[in-house]
Amino acid sequence: MGAAMRFNAMHFMPYVHLPENHKEYKSTWVSFPNKFFDADKGHDLYNRYLQELVLADKLGFDAIVVNEHHNTVYSMMATPNLIAAALVPQTKNARICVWGTPPNFMLPNRLAEEYAILDVMSKGRLEIAFPLGTGMEYWSNAGNPATAREKFKESLKIILQAWKEDGPTTHYGQFYTYRFLNPWPRPYQRPHPPCYIVGTGSPETIEIAAELGFGYASVFVTQQRAYELNENLRQRASTYGHTLRPDQLPLLTFIYVAETNEQAEREYIVHLQRFFEDYARTSPQFLAPPGYLSVEQLKMRAAMADKMHGGFDFDAISKSFFISVGSPDKVANQIGEWSVKMKTTHINNVMHVADMPHWKTVKNLTLFAEEVIPRLRSRQAPSYRMAAE
Amino acid sequence: MAKFERETYNINGVKTVVHTAGHGEPLVFFHGGGTVDGFDFAEPWTSKFRVIAPYHPGFGESGDDPTLANMHDYVMHYLELFDVLKLDRFNLVGLSMGGELAARFASEHGHRIKKLVLIGPSGIIDPQHPMVDLMAVPGDQVLGFLVSNMDVLLKRLPENPGLDFMGDRYREATTFARIYWEHPGDPKFMRYLHRIKVPTMIVWGDEDKLIPVEHTETWKKFIPNAEIKIYKGAGHLVHLEKPEAVEAMGNFLS
């Protein structure tokens, strides 16, 4: 079966005005002093970033993607549903992806309600990803990392029950009691908007996605690991009787398109470097609060971190992750190859990083929409054997 | 001095490892929120007591209790272990988190305790002298809060702590978080301390950087007859830094 390819534009909405002395801080997350936030500059950035996502809709991106982080310059979207609500009336066609709010930091009925509101307001354009939340979020929010996975599962159960079953229903669990689970409104899409789990591929989270038949959006994993993760999820999902479609495995890419490969690298690499070194800078303590990972995962990740020590190396990092920087031909070819290898039709493109200025973002979005997407769409639609075939 | 022997029990599904040495009246020792300090400090007691040092579920050589949620779960665990060990009445010594546990056990089951010793126990909420929230301290800075004399601790640590050592510490931090992450202090804990009527000794280092020595004042309020021993120049792990403290505890219990 062939399937149309789908292209998202994702934005982190970072706060870009880092103080001169920011390198003195080991982490730009969790404990990075919020006195460095200037509301006037923040106001300008929100307006600018919203414009960029609205532009993505106008240019024909299939979806725009927002997500949630706390206490950090990395993202100004502490509550992405507010951002999505601002985008709904300003956009026409693009699906609105909130990928997403960690259910552990919100009452499940309220999250079910907020997503339903967005879905009804947008007449069924909402898509949702449920993250456990990074380790950093557990330092910034109230919630025990040692019981995070149990609570996550219970929250998902409540949210899905709220959407799928006619209310009122009840829920008596370890973390929550609902005597009248009966949220208004209900989602526009029945029984509920498309759902994904988003994460870095810990086996525990994969299993949740497999059991529920959800898609899985892997983030910040290497190409090899993303491949293994997708294969593993397909296999695990099949044991629960689910067959994953190619569009349920979005591929996270970092993209910059310019006239030539050289010009693209000249315009982009400095921002990508700042993204990794400054905006994603955090500490081992914040990455792994106690109980957030299994001991096995902690040891595996610590061993991996040891290997990855050393300065920013664009060549190495772009070979390791899905990072495509270059002319429309180069970017289209790379994405085409990756989609075949990863057996996905769903490309989730980060189109802005770090302190990339507005003009580069507009250029990147425009060239991708007008030069890259048509190149990929004109190809023979890739064909995938489904796991069940 | 007797060497510790290792015994393994299945307590309500949780593998529980107990180190035992010596002969005489039973003396149970509850370790603190980590296990790198070991049990060897207790060897002087073994000439007079049968020292019984269990690893709490989720620590050291014991298995995990996936349902562990609060300190009272440990009280229940130990009631079951002591039944299995046929320990009816015994001396109880607790260090730090183990001190909080020992005090809680004594406030609930005082008739089982002959004498009680608390070494730098946690549990007191004193806004004027707050204890350090160890969970907010980066891993590489934790040791600095534990002792005044780093040498006593360093000789107990591996020279090149590898991934396994790191994993063991992470596991113990996870257990600690199950109990303390949401409530670093249990507001109900102090409410029942007045029920402790057994002879009690409270031991502290005056340079304790983790739990301020001023907490002895609050303990005195709840347990007026408690004997307070403060050792100059010692930090939180006073039992490692001051052998004379270990001796004094042994004498008190005799």
Q: Is A145 on the interface with B (CB under 8 A)?
A: yes
Task: Count the Cβ atoms, other than its own, within 10 Å of residue B85.
Answer: 18
Does the beta-carbon distance from B177 to A284 stay under 8 Å? Answer: no
- Specify the pLDDT at position A261: 98
Count of beta carbons in the 10 Å neighbourhood of residue B185? 18
Contact across the interface for A298 and B182, Cβ inside 8 Å: no
Subunit contact B170:A293, Cβ cutoff 8 A: yes
pLDDT of residue A310: 64
Dihedrals phi, psi of A77, to nearest 5 degrees: -105, 70
Tens of pLDDT, residues B212-249: 999 999 999 999 999 999 999 999 999 999 999 999 99
Give the pLDDT confidence of B18-54 residue by residue, as tens digits.
Answer: 999 999 999 999 999 999 999 999 999 999 999 999 9
Number of neighbours of residue B160 by Cβ within 10 angstroms: 6
How would residue A285 be classed by pLDDT, with cut points 50, 70 and 90?
A: very high
Question: For residue A389, what pLDDT band results from cuts at 50, 70 and 90?
Answer: very low
Beta bridge partners of B201: B117, B227
Residue with tokens 């949620």: B69
Q: Model confidence over A133-156: pLDDT tens digits?
A: 999 999 999 999 999 999 999 999
Q: Which ipTM was obtained for this model?
A: 0.93
What is the predicted pLDDT for the residue at A322? 96
Count the neighbouring beta carbons within 10 Å of the beta carbon of residue A364: 27
> Is pLDDT at A385 greater than 60 in this prediction?
no
pLDDT of A2 strictly over 50: no
Q: Measured on CA atoms in the order A225, A230, A234, A240, is the torsion positive or negative?
A: positive
Residues B214/B129, Cβ–Cβ less than 8 Å: yes
- Residue A9: its H or E element: strand A6-10
Strand partners, B54: B18
- A185: cis peptide before it, omega within 30°? yes
Maximum average pLDDT range among A300-304, A308-312, B37-41: B37-41
| Chain B nearest CA to A300, separation (Å) | 9
Closest CA in chain B for residue A147:
B178
Quote the crossing angle between the two packed helices A39-59 and A80-87, to the nearest 10°.
Answer: 50
Q: In what order do the strands lie in the sheet with A323-326?
A: A215-218, A195-199, A126-131, A95-99, A63-66, A6-10, A346-350, A251-257, A323-326
Report the alpha-carbon distance of residue A101 to residue A124 in Å, rounded.
19
Q: Is A307 on the interface with B (CB under 8 A)?
A: no
Residues of chain A in contact with residue B182, where contact means CB-CB under 8 angstroms, are: 142-144
Q: From residue B151, how far is each of A65, A129, A146, B26, B160 by CA, in Å?
A: 53, 50, 32, 31, 16
Q: How far is B64 from chain A (nearest CA, A)?
A: 12
**Two tokens, residue A39:** 């509301």
Phi, psi of A35 (to 5 degrees): -65, -20
Instruction: Give the model's pLDDT for residue A308.
Output: 63
Interface with chain B: mutation pick from A27, A105, A285, highest number of B CBs within 10 Å: A285
* pLDDT, tens only, A166-183: 999 999 999 999 999 999
> How many beta carbons lie within 10 A of that of residue B229, not counting itself?
19
Which pLDDT belongs to residue A381?
A: 54
Name the residue of chain B whose CA is nearest to A295's CA.
B167
- pLDDT reading at A387 higher than 50: no
Residue pLDDT, tens place only, B113-164: 999 999 999 999 999 999 999 999 998 899 999 999 999 999 999 988 899 9
Distance from CA of B174 to the nearest CA of A (A): 4
B-chain residues near A288 (CB < 8 A)? 170
CB contact under 8 A, A144 and B176: no
pLDDT class of A380 with cuts at 50, 70, 90:
low
Q: Does A297 touch chain B (CB under 8 A)?
A: no
Q: Identity (one letter) of the amino acid at A246? A: P
CB within 8 Å: B170 and A146:
no
pLDDT single digits (tens) B196-213: 999 999 999 999 999 999
Question: Å from B90 to nearest chain A CA?
Answer: 34
Closest Cα in chain B, distance from residue A135 (Å): 13
Taking every pair of C-alpha atoms in chain A, what is the biggest distance, in angstroms? 62
Beta-carbon pairs below 8 A across chains A and B: 50
- State pTM to two decimals: 0.94
Peptide bond into A168 cis (omega under 30): yes
Chain B contacts to A (CB-CB under 8 A): 135, 138-139, 163-164, 166-168, 170-171, 173-178, 181-182
A54 with A87: CB under 8 angstroms? yes
| Residue B165 confidence (pLDDT) above 50 | yes
Beta-carbon separation of A291 and B182 below 8 A: no
Picking from B167, B174, B178, the nearest residue to A299 by CB comes out as B167
> Mean of the pLDDT values across residues A66-70?
97
Nearest-CB residue to A299 (from B163, B174, B176): B163
Distance from CA of B58 to the nearest CA of A (A): 11
Mean pLDDT of B3-26: 97
pLDDT at residue B125 in the model: 97
pLDDT of residue A114: 98
Cβ-nearest to A298 among B135, B170, B181: B170
% of chain A exceeding 70 in pLDDT: 96
Give tens-digit pLDDT for A78-88: 999 999 999 99
Whole-angstrom distance, CA of residue A67 vs CA of residue A50 = 13
Residue of B nearest to A303 (CA): B163
State the helix-helix crossing angle for A203-212 and A148-164, rounded to 10 degrees. Answer: 10
Instruction: Report the percent of chain A where pLDDT is more than 90.
Output: 89
pLDDT band at A386 (very low <50, low <70, confident <90, very high): very low
Residue A142 and residue B178: Cβ atoms within 8 Å?
A: no
Nearest residue of B to residue A138, measured between CA atoms? B181
**Record: contact B181-A293, CB cut-off 8 A:** no
On chain B, the residues whose CB falls within 8 A of the CB of A284 are 139
Give the pLDDT band of residue A309 (cuts 50, 70, 90): low
A290 reaches B (C-beta below 8 A): yes
pLDDT at position A45, please? Answer: 98
* Distance from the A285 Cα atom to the nearest Cα atom in chain B, whole angstroms: 6
A252: closest CA among A216, A279, A282? A216
Closest residue of chain B to A140, computed from CA coordinates = B136
Contacts of B96 (CB under 8 A, 6+ apart): B32, B33, B119, B120, B121, B122, B210, B211, B236
Give the start-end residues of each E strand in chain B.
5-11, 14-21, 25-30, 49-54, 90-95, 113-119, 200-205, 227-231
User: Dihedral of the CA atoms A377, A380, A382, A386 (nearest 10)?
Assistant: 120
Quick one: CA torsion of A202, A208, A212, A218, rounded to 10 degrees?
-20
What distance in Å separates residue A165's CA from the closest CA in chain B? Answer: 30
Pair of tokens at residue B39: 């049990």
Q: How crowded is the C-beta side of A31, counted as CA atoms within 13 Å? A: 12
**Position of tokens 């001023």?**
B214
Say yes or no to pLDDT of A14 above 60.
yes
Asked if B174's CB is within 8 angstroms of A303's CB, the reply is no
Task: State the smallest CA–CA distance between residue A330 and chain B in angstroms.
Answer: 41
Residues of A in contact with B173 (CB under 8 A): 290-291
- With left for phi above 0 and alpha for psi between -120 and 50, is residue A257 left, alpha or beta? beta
Considering just the CA atoms, what is the radius of gyration of chain A in Å? 20
Q: State the DSSP string of B158-188.
A: -SS--HHHHHHHHHHHHHHHHHHSS-SS-TT
Contact A83, A50 (CB under 8 A): yes
Beta bridge partners of B227: B201
For A59, the token pair is 């240019």
- CB B182 to CB A302 under 8 A? no
Residue A146 contacts B, CB cutoff 8 Å: yes
